Amino acid sequence: MGEQVADKFLKDSAVKSFDQRHREIINTNIEKYRLAFERSRSKFFDLENSKKKAHLIKWKTIENLERYLLDFESNFTKRGGQVIWANDAEEARNEIFKIMERHQAKSIVKSKSMAIEEIELHHFLKKQNIEIFECDFDTPSDASAEQMTIEGGELLRQKYTKADIGISGANFIIADTGSIAITENDGNARLTTSFSKVHIALVGIEKIIPSIVDLDLFWPLVASHGTGQNLTVYNTILGGSRQEQDTDGPEEMYVILLDNGRTNILEKNDQRQALYCICGEACLNLCPTYQNIAGQTYDTTYQILINSLVPPSLNDVSELKNPAYASPLCGKCFEACAVNIDYLRLALLNRRDSVQQGLIPQTEKRVWKVFTYAIQRRGLIDFFSGRTKNFFLRRFLRKTWSKHLELPKLAEKSFSKQWKERKD
């Protein structure tokens, strides 16, 4: 399976990187994002200090993950909520289905959530003959499409009042108040959590933050780095089932805390900071590699660099080896990250794991061994003429670079030789 994913990455990236129309669209969208991002970041009094503070908060939280998760569970259950711990995707799907059976639910409405996509819930529920109402619409391209979207939105909103269960994700889990925080621009998640009698929130355990006051920092960081906004349109905090004084909200609320390999990352001391990610997406948008091949090529649920560099288990390194090697190590991703994750180190550690697990082809190993031997011996390099070097370069790289690009020609004499002649 791993080799299939790796081969798919290489094939897709080769096609996308030379699709001129595709690159024009990507570059146009990225330029719009860049301008919006520059405007939003200017609203911070000291952006770098905010990013450092966010990094320290996430470091503190991940280092004490068990404590904060238990605090959340304790505070959430005090307000009538129920917490379910899911070790993997299968367990999460089964727990959701048990809740549906308990409430004899035949229909659900679900808002956009990467955690829901991660466990492939839609496909699972379809097999169980559950009616599913989606909340998301693509951006309309013309007036008729816009009208269809408006009509579809009105129809969908009617479904909210009839769906038995609403399922959402969450951007943050708040330990000290026992609540979850959702940030969005269309309001569909808010409708999903308000009308249904039962609300299920599926969220990864790494989304925990210590205090509700931390949202004052994290919400603007997510908005500015994700969409270039000062703050997203709808920001909601939910803390359990409906209370007597509440006018809306679910009669029962469940939060499913999803592991699905996250504790495997937690065990890796040098790669643990991957769990700091708040899905700002700026890392991808400013990455030179992404600007050529786009996020779909990475074939990861979250469409962000972190998931292509740090697999949840060592067995998945084979699937994500090529994305890690595709990183140019230019530092753009680190500069763009809202919480100062060291992407360069993570990419290098992924490459290290690839070598240690024997995932590098023998041919590649031999080539690098010969290259290392030659580059360390000046006399050997100067022995061959520029014409000979150009011949070998064209021959060995004809299936990769030479297929699309004209290789630069090496000088007849090396720099070392020319320098020596000038000194003489």
Non-local (6+) Cβ contacts of 136 within 8 A are 111, 112, 186, 188
Secondary structure string (H, E, C) spanning 277-305: CCCCCHHHHCCCCHHHHCHHHHCCCCCCH
Cα–Cα distance measured from residue 238 to residue 223, given in angstroms and rounded to the nearest whole number: 19
Query: Cβ–Cβ contacts within 10 Å for residue 253, how many?
Result: 25
Kindly report the average pLDDT of the chain as a whole number.
81
Output the pLDDT for position 188: 82
Higher-pLDDT residue of 222 and 154 is 222
pLDDT band at 424 (very low <50, low <70, confident <90, very high): low
DSSP character string of 348-396: HHHHHHHHHTT-S-HHHHHHHHHHHHHHT-HHHHHHS-HHHHHHHHHHH
What band does 133 get if pLDDT is binned at 50, 70 and 90? confident
Q: How confident is the model at residue 156 (pLDDT cuts 50, 70, 90)?
A: low
Residues 6+ apart with CB under 8 A from 351: 321, 324, 325
Half-sphere exposure of 287 (CA within 13 A, CB side): 27
Beta bridge partners of 84: 256
d(CA 189, CA 178): 19
Residue 82 has pLDDT above 80, yes or no: yes
SS3 13: helix
What's the whole-number mean pLDDT along residues 71-84? 95
Choose among 279, 278, 282: nearest CA to 34: 282
Ordered by start, the domain boundaries in the chain are: 2-42+264-356, 47-260, 364-423
Burial class (CB in 10 A: 0-12, 13-18, 19+), 196: buried
Q: How far apart are CA 311 and CA 316, in angstroms?
A: 6
Residue-wise pLDDT tens digits, 252-280: 999 999 998 899 889 888 889 989 998 87
321, 315 Cβ separation under 8 angstroms: no
Predicted confidence (pLDDT) per residue in 345-370, tens digit? 888 888 888 778 777 778 778 888 88
Q: Which one of 3.40.50.2300, 3.40.50.10420, 3.30.450.20, 3.40.50.300 gives the CATH number of domain 47-260?
A: 3.40.50.10420
Query: Is the predicted pLDDT of residue 70 greater than 60, yes or no?
Result: yes
DSSP string, 303-326: -SHHHHHS-SSGGGHHHHHHHHHH
Q: What is the pLDDT of residue 137?
A: 47
Cα separation of 406 and 92, whole Å? 51
Given 3-state DSSP classes, what are the helix, strand and coil percentages for the chain, each rounded to the nearest 5?
55, 10, 30
Convert 114-137 to b/e letters by CB count within 10 Å (16 or more is b). Answer: bbbebbebeebbeeeebeebebeb
Q: Which of 7-21, 47-61, 119-133, 381-395 has the highest mean pLDDT?
A: 47-61
pLDDT at residue 302 tops 70: no
Q: What is the pLDDT of residues 31-52, one digit of tens each?
A: 888 888 888 878 888 999 999 9
Find, among 303, 298, 335, the residue nearest to 51 by Cα.
335
Cβ count within 10 A of residue 36 = 14
The single-letter DSSP state of residue 219 is H
